[in-house]
Amino acid sequence: MRAAILAILAGGALAGCSVFPDYVRPSIDTPAQWQAQRTEAAGAAERLDWWRQFNDPVLSRLLQAAEQDNPTLEQAVANIASARASLAGAEAGGMPSLTTKGSFTRSKGGTTTGTGAQTTSASGSSFNTGITQILSGSLDASWELDLFGKFAFNRQAEQARLAAAELTLHNAKVSLAAEVASDYVSYRACQLTAIAYQNAIASKQDTARLTGVLAGAGFSSPADAVLADASLHASESSLIAQRTECDNTVKALVALTGLAEADLRAWLAAGGGMPVPEQFQVDSVPADLLTQRPDLAADERKLAAASADIGNAVAKRYPSVSLTGSIGKRKTETTGLTLSSNTWSIGPTVTLPIFDGGELRSKVDSAEAAYASALATYRSDIRSAVKEVEQALVNLSGAEQRERVEGRSAEQYRQYFRAAELNWRSGGLSLLSLEDARGQMITQEISHITQQQNRVQYWIALYKALGGGWRAQDTQLSAGDTQREESL
């Protein structure tokens, strides 16, 4: 008993020793500032409430509906539940275990003597023993000491994987919101384009009617009437194609939000034109991206898990010590005789891997390779994140400038067409020249709508590139944590 107590005390003193260094988040070289032109605004909006700046109730309702019923988010939630279960299993490792067992047997046997002949009494009958009953039970305890951090490393890995799963859910929400908003903006732009075609058709119908009257009276060439009708039909075809695109966008929103199409169309009908967000100031640097993007934070947690996996694999190459103990009771009853006995045992068990054909070494090599892969993924994703922000800033700046320029151009083309139409009605301009002026006006109006759409969608791309409305303090573990959550 004294030896067992000493073994327990020694094990407790050794438990927590680590055979692998603590994980520290690797430093990644990033530019000191954004190279792209910044977008400045006096009233900067909080990214956490980023979608409110659109001031569009329909968009807000669509985002809420998508988050409440989306298979991608449900899958991410299921992954979190799985990670929590794995963590619970890892936390049970290295803890004492206690089991009990019992048994009861009832038997009847015979006795033989000599060379197989059955012993008989004077009356010639066989001699049989009575019924034997055996009742036994035991309570067994076992505790494997975590001398080299095997269980602690496993807990570290599962804690990091749980954090990565939670961060992946946040990233899925950001991506989903960006996709819903992008499709919504596309639908609004599609509607505006369809309206432009409808206006063009109304104008061309009037032109075709007047041209037909003139041609019938002999004041205009029949070719002009054919040209007017052809131009009208071309615009009608363009309108049909545009409405088809709008319908397809509605289908995409149905898939994202899970809403019934009739309800969704009713929501969209209640909305207005193109949503215009308020500007917000971009004043962060690429290094801050590590605490703003949940996907990068998830990468870092996966890297921490891979590091802990190496420690676990290394620790398994070292000896393991288990303390076991058992107490039991046995009771035997046979032919009127009752025997009882109590048993107990306690002692350490040492397991030392000597030769395994290289299996344990290969597991260390595999864990190290997995860590190298996770590190490469982390570094690659950081570079991609910086690129996405830089490109979003460039695209946004260009779209803002083009929208202003093309807005002025569209207005000037409208003025030019109105003047050309008056000139045509007075007989000073040919129908071909009028249609050319109308075509330039329509093209420029649609180009202006496209730039309005691009500007909003580049804002959405910037929102996504900066990690959306997510903050590190919103989760249990932040990407900036450079030490292990639990000292070994």
Q: Using one digit for the tens of pLDDT, what is the confidence trace for 213-252?
A: 767 777 667 887 888 888 888 888 989 999 999 999 999 9
CATH code of 273's domain: 1.20.1600.10
Q: Is 378 within 8 Å of 300 (Cβ atoms)?
A: yes
Does the pLDDT value for residue 128 go beyond 80?
Answer: no
Instruction: Report if residue 154 sits inside a domain.
Output: yes
Distance CA 86, CA 205 (A): 69
Q: Please, which contacts does 225-228 make with residues 24 or more away whose CB atoms are closer than 8 Å?
A: 227/431, 227/432, 227/435, 228/204, 228/431, 228/435
pLDDT on residue 119: 41
Does the pLDDT value for residue 164 go beyond 90?
Answer: yes
Does the pLDDT value for residue 475 go beyond 50?
Answer: no
Instruction: Report if residue 193 sits inside a domain.
Output: yes
Does the pLDDT value for residue 307 go beyond 90?
Answer: yes
In b/e form, how buried is each residue of 48-74, taking b as 16+ CB within 10 angstroms? eebbebbebebbebbbebbeeebeebe
Half-sphere exposure of 236 (CA within 13 A, CB side): 9
Helices (H), 34-149: 57-68, 71-92
* 37-46, 69-78, 156-165, 439-448: which is most confident: 156-165
Q: Is 234 within 8 Å of 196 (Cβ atoms)?
A: no
* Residue range 185-210: mean pLDDT, rounded: 87
Helices (H), 218-358: 222-257, 261-269, 294-315
> pLDDT (tens digit, 9 = 90+) per residue, 366-417?
999 999 999 999 999 988 888 888 888 888 888 888 888 989 998 998 898 8
Instruction: Report if residue 238 sits inside a domain.
Output: yes
Instruction: Report if residue 284 sits inside a domain.
Output: yes
Maximum Cα–Cα distance for the chain, whole Å? 148
> What confidence tier does 4 reach under pLDDT thresholds 50, 70, 90?
very low
pLDDT on residue 209: 81
Percent of the chain with pLDDT over 70: 80
* Residue range 138-167: mean pLDDT, rounded: 89
Instruction: Report if residue 6 sits inside a domain.
Output: no
Residue 51's identity, in one-letter code, is W
Instruction: Report if residue 232 sits inside a domain.
Output: yes
Instruction: Report if residue 479 sits inside a domain.
Output: no
> What confidence tier does 25 reach under pLDDT thresholds 50, 70, 90?
confident
Instruction: Report if residue 108 sits inside a domain.
Output: no
pLDDT on residue 1: 41
pLDDT, averaged across the chain:
80
pLDDT on residue 18: 67
Does the pLDDT value for residue 481 go beyond 50?
Answer: no
Half-sphere exposure of 204 (CA within 13 A, CB side): 27
> What confidence tier does 44 reach under pLDDT thresholds 50, 70, 90?
very low
Q: How many domains does the chain have?
A: 1
Does the pLDDT value for residue 11 go beyond 60?
Answer: no
Residue with the bigger pLDDT between 112 and 71: it is 71
> pLDDT (tens digit, 9 = 90+) per residue, 253-263?
999 999 999 99
pLDDT on residue 478: 32
Distance CA 299, CA 307 (A): 12
pLDDT on residue 166: 92
Inter-axis angle of helices 359-425 and 431-465, to 10 degrees? 150
The domain in which residue 293 lies consists of: 20-98+149-317+359-474
Residue with the bigger pLDDT between 77 and 116: it is 77
Q: Is 140 within 8 Å of 100 (Cβ atoms)?
A: yes
pLDDT on residue 216: 76
Smallest Cα–Cα separation from 471: which of 70, 62, 174?
174
Q: Output the CA angle 298-300-301, nearest 5 degrees.
A: 65
pLDDT on residue 40: 46
Distance CA 438, CA 197 (A): 11
pLDDT on residue 487: 31
> What confidence tier does 46 reach under pLDDT thresholds 50, 70, 90?
very low
> pLDDT (tens digit, 9 = 90+) per residue, 78-125?
999 999 998 888 888 878 888 898 898 888 765 544 444 444 444 444
